[in-house]
Amino acid sequence: MPAPSHRRRARLGLAVGVTLSLLAAARGGHAAGLYFSDRGVRPMGRAGAFVAGADDLGAIWYNPAGLADAKTSALVDFSWLRFNAEYTRALRIVDADDVVRVVRSPTVEGSSPVIPFPTIAGSYNFGERREFTVAGGVFAPYAAIATYPETVDGRPSPARYALGSFEGSALIFGGGFFAYKPTEQLRFGIGLGALVGQYQSTVTFSASPPDRLLAAPEQPEYDAESRFRVGPIFAPTGSFGATWVPLRFLRVGASFQLPMVVSSSTRFDVRLPTASVFDGGRITGRDAHVRFTLPHILRAGVEVRPTDELRIEAAYVREFWSIHESIDMTPEGVAIEGIRGLPPRVPIPAIKFPRNFQDSDSFRIGSEYTFDLAGYKLDLRAGVSHETSAIPRAYLSLLTIDMDKTVLSLGGGLHVGEHWRLDAMYAHLFASSVTVSPEEARIPRVNPLPGNAPLEAVNGGQYSASADLVGVGVNYTF
């Protein structure tokens, strides 16, 4: 069979590009995978070491058994994740004469908008011995939402094939919880909830043929900008936990959260490339279905209370990201039409986009010290944690940027009267720089004929990131 013309290759590339860009639009997860930090103003004042010592409404995320000590209360807090990232891309190019070159692009910088991530929760304690507690809450995950410029030094941004903007995205976790304290030594908790909302993004893909006889591999005239809206998202999950207090000064806690399956409809719009080969072409259909799995999480902690004023906890968290193997996308009636030399209608096929994530580990130590000052009770909090990334180096990109990180945090609480507690927290996240060599990079630019050209991955290069987390909150106990 004769080889297709270069124009036909470009148009087939567009069809494949639509599919891959749909997959790039799906994003969600937990701290070590796609969120950049654990959550909660008081818990993060202790660097997330809040499993055995959980005793207020922050327990809805860390250990629902801790709700048994939350009494009847209400909690509202807000945090801002100031996230910055830098990326200097290194692209490996093999030309028609098998000459290998590595081209480095100007450094592109991304930053997060000022978006407050809220927590709103309440609990009610009842029973003859106040042994039962019901609670409910909603909160937003601390996602590293960054926007990258469209141009760098007057040229199209090297980040355009990974990520453009997340503006318009809104994800909220909500759930109901129940805790039971049969004795002063035991607490049990269970929760049911779901990740809900919608995700929006812009992604650019290239429909330039890989063999360069028609155009350069990243010639802007062959770029197609895609805008996506994934949702409504409804991904249910459940959690359960227990806390054991064998001695007055010792608490042991553990919890487990079930995985979440994101299975959602997607709508998208694609702006066709401006190159003349696409004149008269069009894409019909706007709907697809995206499915992927987010991990189950195991948490465990030991808290010691050598005095009534001092609490110190060591905690361990394992997120089983190896369950996140791929993102599966099934178009629903999407096709490319009106291209001369092709069939009248070319359907976009189902495709599996590999992720190949790995399990991550987090080790945390946090403390809380309570004392009186000028007639007010004050809590001072501090902590440190280290977390490994769930993203293998070969699959790191600006779409899912994460790396090994260390968190240093400080926090405090001011008790006003018998009912109010005002909280504040600051944490700095030190993320390690990562270099993805062009040879090991595995996220490709769209390639309509992968069998006839070498892989040209677009995620090689140098990555660095840092973040600050600032939060305030108020807790009221009835």
Q: What pLDDT does 28 receive?
A: 39
pLDDT at 182 over 50: yes
**Residue of higher predicted confidence among 3 and 425:** 425
Q: What pLDDT does 335 receive?
A: 83
pLDDT per residue over 20-35, tens digit each? 333 333 333 444 445 5
- HEC string of the chain? CCCCCHHHHHHHHHHHHHHHHHHHCCCCCCCCCCECCCCCHHHHHCCCCCCCCCCCCCHHHHCHHHHHHCCCEEEEEEEEEEEEEEEEEEEEEECCCCCEEEEECCCEEEECCCCCEEEEEEEEEECCCCCEEEEEEEECCCECCCECCCEECCEECCCCCCCCECCCCEEEEEEEEEEEEEECCEEEEEEEEEEEEEEEEEEEEECCCCCCCCCCCCCHHHEEEEEEEEEEEEEEEEEEEEEEEEECCEEEEEEEECCEEEEEEEEEEEECCCCHHHCCCEEECCEEEEEEEECCEEEEEEEECCCCCEEEEEEEEEECHHHCCEEEEEECCCEEECCCCCCCEEECCCEEEECCCCCEEEEEEEEEEEEEECCEEEEEEEEEEEECCCCCHHHCCCCCCCCCEEEEEEEEEEEECCCEEEEEEEEEEEECCEEECCCCCCCECCCCCHHHCCCCECCCEEEEEEEEEEEEEEEEEC
Q: Which range has the top average pLDDT, 197-206, 351-360, 369-378?
A: 369-378
Q: What pLDDT does 15 receive?
A: 43
Q: What pLDDT does 42 receive?
A: 98
Q: How confident is the model at residue 184 (pLDDT cuts 50, 70, 90)?
A: very high
pLDDT per residue over 356-366, tens digit each? 899 999 999 99
Residue percentage of the chain with pLDDT more than 70 = 83
* 231 in Cβ contact with 197 (< 8 Å): yes
Mean pLDDT for the stretch of residues 163-181: 81
Q: How confident is the model at residue 278 (pLDDT cuts 50, 70, 90)?
A: confident
- Name the pTM for this structure: 0.86
Instruction: Of 153-157, 188-192, 417-421, 462-466, give the lowest mean pLDDT range.
Output: 153-157
Instruction: Of 174-178, 253-257, 273-277, give the lowest mean pLDDT range.
Output: 273-277
Q: How confident is the model at residue 274 (pLDDT cuts 50, 70, 90)?
A: confident
* 89 in Cβ contact with 102 (< 8 Å): no
pLDDT at 318 over 80: yes
Mean pLDDT of the chain: 84
Q: What pLDDT does 166 receive?
A: 61
pLDDT at 386 over 90: yes
Q: What pLDDT does 180 receive?
A: 98
pLDDT at 168 over 80: no
Q: What pLDDT does 410 receive?
A: 98
pLDDT per residue over 35-81, tens digit each? 567 899 999 999 999 999 999 999 999 999 999 999 999 999 999 98
Q: What pLDDT does 69 receive?
A: 97
pLDDT at 394 over 70: yes
Mean pLDDT for the stretch of residues 120-131: 96
Out of 2.60.40.790, 1.20.1560.10, 2.40.160.60, 3.30.70.20, select the CATH number for domain 6-477.
2.40.160.60
Mean pLDDT for the stretch of residues 403-407: 93
> Among candidates 341, 330, 329, 347, which has minimal Cα distance to 10?
341
**Residue of higher predicted confidence among 346 and 16:** 346
Instruction: Of 9-18, 189-198, 401-410, give the lowest mean pLDDT range.
Output: 9-18
Instruction: Of 347-356, 397-406, 415-424, give the lowest mean pLDDT range.
Output: 347-356
Residue percentage of the chain with pLDDT more than 90 = 49
Q: What pLDDT does 90 receive?
A: 87
